Amino acid sequence: MPPTTPATPSEQLSSGTTYHGITHPLNPCELEIDLFCKGMRVDPSCALEQDARFISRTRAGLGSGLEIVIPGPIKDVWVNVPVEEDFAQQSRYRLVLESGAYSVRDDCKGFRYPVRIPPEPAWYTRTTSRGTPMHKVGVLQGTYLGIYISNSCGFWYHSPALNCRFCATGLNVGVNEVAIKDVGDVVEVARAAKEESGVTFVHFNSGFQTDRDLDVAAPYVKAVKSRVGALVGLQLIPSLDLWKYDRLIDLGADHFSFCYEFQNPEFFAKLLPGKEKLVGQKTFFRALEYTARKLGKGACSGEIIAGVEPVEDTIKAIDYITGLGAFPTVCIFRPTIGADMEHWASPRYEDMLVVFRHLYEACRKNRIPIDVTPNIEVSLIVQPGDTRYLAPRNWRTRWYGTQMGLARQIARPYFWWKRRPKSITASEVLSP
Amino acid sequence: MILNKPEPPTEERLRAELEGSPVARAVCAAVETAVEPFEITTEGVGIEIRGSSFLPNGLPNRARIKIFSPTPGHTLVFFYKKSLVPYSRDRYSYGGIDLRTTEVAQAEVSEWLAFINSGLHPDKRPTNLRRAFPFEIPE
């Protein structure tokens, strides 16, 4: 698996002359995928300082891009577009501002795609009552609040380092983020995000905490659920102490996601040395299988990275995850600044299109609920709901769409109830 | 070479910062005699130097080294890139070195400069670089 040399600008331009073999503009999901693969340059005409959320690299570095919204007839698509990495500086796409409106220009094809720039919430520039800048506690990623709860990731502190090779988490803490998040700060930020930004979902993640990952997360879950009221998700290194998941559910966790990244065990071992040595791929599978059974269809997710292991392995992963009733969270590999894999090539659009067309079909076949929870738009990935733009036009697609539309209506009061502050009696101390 | 050395703000900056920092003095001396171009930043805490060459991929070098002392007895050497987006306050860390002495070997400084000149390429990481560098780094 040697790193591949990124295409030079001239190679990129020449490949663009036969780009996709098509002459029509891309639909919102296709554009989303291509922007993840190629990134975007920011034209000097843009006034992002006034119009955009500031860029903040948190949570493995994927949030390093610029948040945009691509409007579309099925749904608007949120994308965190790479703008900082070298490959983005050589992109065919350019964000421009003309007559007060933003668009993404394809400088090779001449297409122009209107986009919106989500504004920076007022609370980003405020501090908590302890004096912590709120944007250093949590940031909006799409329409949800993402909080990296604890002090970096233990994999980074081994010698030699066992960090995941695509990851930049260990590089962020202390530079762009507060190292240890105070529970009171988190509550204040979650409350501001809920009240002012309409956030419905608070997502906590953390790096390796020496098998105390679930313990560390528990007080935050209880605090947000009881004092703010929101859907709460956790993305942590898994544990074989499965009873801890039961306790976290009692404390208010609505969702668990498991980042096992690669289905192919060789890629898992080589590129995730910490997860291989100290956790094991099977632990991820056991925890995902257990929580998916406990919480039901569509509540948990398996997270993988597309564009590094062979496409067939990514497709196997999607089939495995959806077969469990979980939804697939598929990140398009981003060679983020500072990561060991910074100099690897960004994935090919054509390969990613195959992956996401399959993702739609796998969700449909397994009846995975997509876009049912209210106002959760994730900008860092191609959401299963976004892939509706890639669906074949046939009666199966229409039937699935009808079912999901009904599910959305039926689930509305349930999610309203889930987002109310709850009285929680379970103890947040998991292990004495 | 230091491209902006003749400029008054740079001279003033060097005078102010180098006096109390033997590490910064050693680095600036090495930069001054280097073949590759560098620039001294005249804002922020400590002494900050950025590479001013072009990289093999044709893109401008964005690598920076910041040397400052957060507490007596500690000198931090921090490697990073600034965001390309003009309004962004984000910084991209490549790790750092916590020196608990005022002495630094010339060979070590050469490693740092080679790292800078490579655009912070993983193959050129300094021997003592700590990639997870959980210090609050002032602007």
Contacts 24+ apart (CB under 8 A), A97-103: A97/A43, A97/A45, A97/A46, A97/A47, A97/A51, A98/A45, A102/A46, A102/A51, A102/A68
Report pLDDT digits (tens) over A80-135: 999 999 999 999 999 999 999 999 999 999 999 999 999 989 999 999 999 999 98
Give the DSSP per-residue string, A370-415.
-S-STT---SSS--GGGGGGG--SSHHHHHHHHHHHHHHHHHHHHH
Report pLDDT digits (tens) over A154-203: 898 888 889 999 998 777 655 555 567 899 999 999 999 999 999 999 99
Structure tokens at A120: 């920076």
DSSP letter at A276 equals: I
Q: Is the pLDDT of residue B2 over 60?
A: yes
Q: Of A97, A68, A61, A77, nearest to A28 (Cα)?
A: A77
Please judge whether A56 and B90 are an interchain contact, meaning their C-beta atoms are less than 8 angstroms apart: yes
Q: Is the pLDDT of residue A367 over 70?
A: yes
CA B19, B23, B28, B29 torsion-angle sign:
positive
Interface of B with A (CB under 8 A): 57-59, 80-81, 83-95, 120-122, 131-137
Rounded to an integer, the average pLDDT of A138-144 is 91
Query: How many angstroms away from the CA of A10 is the closest CA of chain B?
Result: 11
Query: In DSSP terms, which residues pair with A302 in a beta bridge?
Result: A258, A328
Please judge whether A9 and B58 are an interchain contact, meaning their C-beta atoms are less than 8 angstroms apart: yes
Please judge whether B90 and A54 are an interchain contact, meaning their C-beta atoms are less than 8 angstroms apart: yes
Domain residue limits, chain B: 8-124
Tell which of A171, A181, A209 to mutate to test the B interface (max B CBs under 10 Å): A171
CATH tag, A138-414 = 3.20.20.70
CB B57 within 8 A of CB B23: no
CB A53 within 8 A of CB A118: yes
Report pLDDT digits (tens) over A334-349: 999 889 999 999 999 9
Instruction: Give the list of residues 6+ apart from residue A91 with CB closer than 8 angstroms, or none.
Output: A12, A38, A39, A40, A41
Report pLDDT digits (tens) over A384-424: 999 999 999 999 999 999 999 999 999 999 999 999 999 99
Instruction: Give the list of residues 6+ apart from residue A205 with CB closer than 8 angstroms, or none.
Output: A59, A146, A147, A148, A149, A234, A235, A236
Query: What's the Rg (C-alpha) of chain B?
Result: 14
Q: Of A344, A322, A409, nearest to A372 (Cα)?
A: A409
The full length of chain A comes to 432
Q: Identify all chain B residues contacting A89, using CB atoms and an 8 Å cutoff.
A: 59, 84
Distance of CA A322 to the CA centre of its chain: 17
Local confidence band at A59 (pLDDT 50, 70, 90 cut-offs): very low
Please judge whether A151 and B135 are an interchain contact, meaning their C-beta atoms are less than 8 angstroms apart: no
Q: Identify all chain B residues contacting A48, using CB atoms and an 8 Å cutoff.
A: 85-87
Q: Is the pLDDT of residue A350 over 60?
A: yes
Q: What angle do CA A416, A417, A421 make, to 5 degrees?
A: 105
Per-residue model confidence (pLDDT) at position A22: 55
Rounded to an integer, the average pLDDT of A205-227 is 92
Domain residue limits, chain A: 24-114, 138-414
Per-residue model confidence (pLDDT) at position A207: 86
